[in-house]
Amino acid sequence: MFSNFHTHSTYCDGKSTPEEIVDYAVQLNLKSLGFSSHAPIPFECPWCMKRETLNDYLMHINSLKNSKQGIAIYTGLEVDYIPDTIGPLDFSKTLDYTIGSIHFVENFRNGKGWEIDGSHQHFHDGLAEIFKNNIKDAVDRYFELTREMALKSRPTIIGHLDKIKLQNTGYQYFNEADRWYRETIEDTLKAIQTAGCIIEVNTRGVYQKKTDSVYPSRWILESIKKKRIPITVSSDAHHSNDLISYFAETFQLLREIGFKEIHILTESQWKPYKFNEDGIKIN
Ligand SMILES: [Zn+2]
Ligand SMILES: [Zn+2]
């Protein structure tokens, strides 16, 4: 039995309606399902929800909560953290949970945000213009923002912790074994631990064939395990077909690393559940 708290629907850049997602989740016998559309941000963004749609979204998802037997449905948002502009804390009061994610790191000279998970060309251009091709400074800033988000804006869940690695195919920019990279990850995990957030293990990079491992990488998961930071598993689905994509392999990996429990929102509380490669075990 699985659960998934990171899903996008037609309210943002997802391809399936909330009803289609719920129907497939019921077929899959999901224990809990969370909706996490991209929250509105105060500038033009093609993959975000429009500000004027937010109330409809909240009402719509809340109305689905008791629509089906046997599945718990929760209302969340994936919220960008942009200093002095927006963060998970701005939305937490009206939601069951928030996913805090860093997609933007600084701005181009023309005022447009640099997206770390855009095209390779876009990444390359921002790295050159904003960071003078200093990859260490760019990656350090990404993780510095992650730490700041955890400590200042307290999302329930930290989204795709090391997503910036999707630009690093073939290790063209850096090696994850580099000391500076390990140090910035270690500092980030400590901040997340202090903030009390859950870290998601996100399978999207793998099933989209953009990365060869889940977010975060195995060695980071090993450090998360040592620090006893709670984890949850999600697919960042943009289509109902991807609700449990690469889950069996991921649960297997987590077992190999030595994790015994993952955290699930159920009965309005985040609780640890034992699991095996078939997912969480109930009782
Ligand atoms: Zn994201
Ligand atoms: Zn997402």
Which of these ranges, 133-137, 170-174, 190-194, 231-235, has the smallest mean pLDDT? 170-174
> Is 154 contained in some domain?
yes
Element (H or E) spanning 262, and its range? strand 261-266
- In whole angstroms, give the CA distance from residue 255 to residue 262: 11
pLDDT (0 to 100) of residue 259: 98
Using alpha carbons, select from 21, 118, 9 the residue that is nearest to residue 71: 21
> Is 106 contained in some domain?
no
Which ligand sits nearest to residue 80's alpha carbon?
Answer: 1
How far from each other are the two terminal CA atoms of the chain, in whole angstroms? 12
Q: pLDDT > 70: what percent of the chain? A: 100
Distance in Å, CA 283 to ligand 2 centroid:
30
Q: Residue 219: how many CA atoms within 13 Å on its side-chain side? A: 9
The boundaries of the domain holding residue 173 are: 18-98+143-280
- In whole angstroms, give the CA distance from residue 75 to residue 252: 28
Distance in Å, CA 102 to ligand 1 centroid:
7
- Ligand 1 is an ion; its neighbours by CB within 5 Å are 101
Distance in Å, CA 262 to ligand 1 centroid:
20
Q: pLDDT > 90: what percent of the chain? A: 95
Which ligand sits nearest to residue 8's alpha carbon?
Answer: 2
Peptide bond connecting 216 to the previous residue in cis, omega within 30 degrees of 0: yes
Using alpha carbons, select from 243, 261, 246 the residue that is nearest to residue 198: 261
Q: What is the CATH number of the domain that holds 209?
A: 3.20.20.140
Summarize pLDDT for 244-279 with one digit per residue, the tens. 999 999 999 999 999 999 999 998 899 999 999 889
77 touches 36 (CB < 8 A): yes
pLDDT exceeds cutoff 70 at 204: yes
pLDDT exceeds cutoff 70 at 283: no
Number of domain units in the chain: 1
Which ligand sits nearest to residue 100's alpha carbon?
Answer: 1
Summarize pLDDT for 91-136 with one digit per residue, the tens. 999 999 999 999 999 999 999 999 999 999 999 999 999 999 999 9
How much is the mean pLDDT over the chain?
Answer: 97
The reply to whether the predicted model has a pTM over 0.95 is yes
pLDDT (0 to 100) of residue 281: 85
pLDDT (0 to 100) of residue 187: 98
> Is 153 contained in some domain?
yes
> Is 8 contained in some domain?
no
Distance in Å, CA 103 to ligand 2 centroid:
10
Distance in Å, CA 160 to ligand 1 centroid:
7
